[in-house]
């Protein structure tokens, strides 16, 4: 009985780890642009914004979950934002407003 319990627990933890890893999406910032212009993710997912530019950026997120200001993001830095509510989010750079991304959270 104990052996079966531990096997089931190990399998469950492996599944949880896979689900968590799948819930993180990456968006790069390069050439004063986001790597994608639209993205659809599941509720509870996290987007990691990687700054590959030689200038600072400032992620601004507006949507169903309210407004998030990621603050100053220096070159080489990453900013992670969780999306806990379904809806459509508009993401821009507060420094470079031509940088735009629409995220749909299902």
Residue 31 lies in a domain: yes
Residue 8 lies in a domain: no
The per-residue pLDDT for 10 is: 52
For the four alpha carbons of 26, 61, 58 and 38, in that order, the dihedral sign comes to: positive
Only one residue has tokens 């509720």, namely 43
Residue 61 lies in a domain: yes
Q: In whole angstroms, what is the distance from residue 59 CA to residue 70 CA?
A: 5
The per-residue pLDDT for 23 is: 87
Query: pTM for this one?
Result: 0.76
Residue 49 lies in a domain: yes
39 in Cβ contact with 48 (< 8 Å): no
- Residue 67 sits in a domain whose CATH number is 2.60.40.420
Q: In whole angstroms, what is the distance from residue 65 CA to residue 81 CA?
A: 11
The per-residue pLDDT for 3 is: 61
Residue 85 lies in a domain: yes
Residue 7 lies in a domain: no
Q: In whole angstroms, what is the distance from residue 29 CA to residue 49 CA?
A: 7
The per-residue pLDDT for 66 is: 84
Residue 84 lies in a domain: yes
Tally of domains within the chain: 1
Could you tell me the residue range of the domain that residue 62 belongs to?
Answer: 24-105
Condensed to tens digits (0 to 9), the pLDDT of residues 63-101 reads 986 899 999 999 999 999 999 999 999 999 999 999 999
Query: Residue 91, Cβ neighbours under 10 Å: how many?
Result: 22
Q: What is the mean pLDDT of residues 7-32?
A: 66
Residue 68 lies in a domain: yes
| Residue 5 reports pLDDT greater than 70 | no
**Could you tell me the pLDDT band of residue 1, with boundaries at 50, 70 and 90?**
low
**Could you tell me the pLDDT band of residue 4, with boundaries at 50, 70 and 90?**
low
């Amino acid at each position: 009985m104990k052996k079966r319990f531990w096997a089931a627990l190990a399998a469950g933890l492996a599944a949880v780890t896979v689900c968590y890893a799948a819930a993180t999406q990456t968006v790069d910032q390069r050439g004063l642009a986001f790597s994608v212009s639209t993205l659809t993710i599941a509720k509870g997912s996290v987007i990691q914004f990687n700054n590959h530019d030689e200038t600072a950026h400032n992620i601004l997120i507006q949507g169903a979950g309210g407004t998030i200001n990621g603050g100053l993001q220096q070159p080489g830095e990453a900013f992670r934002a969780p999306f806990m509510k379904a809806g459509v989010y508009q993401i821009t750079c507060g420094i470079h407003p031509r940088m735009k991304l629409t995220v749909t959270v299902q």
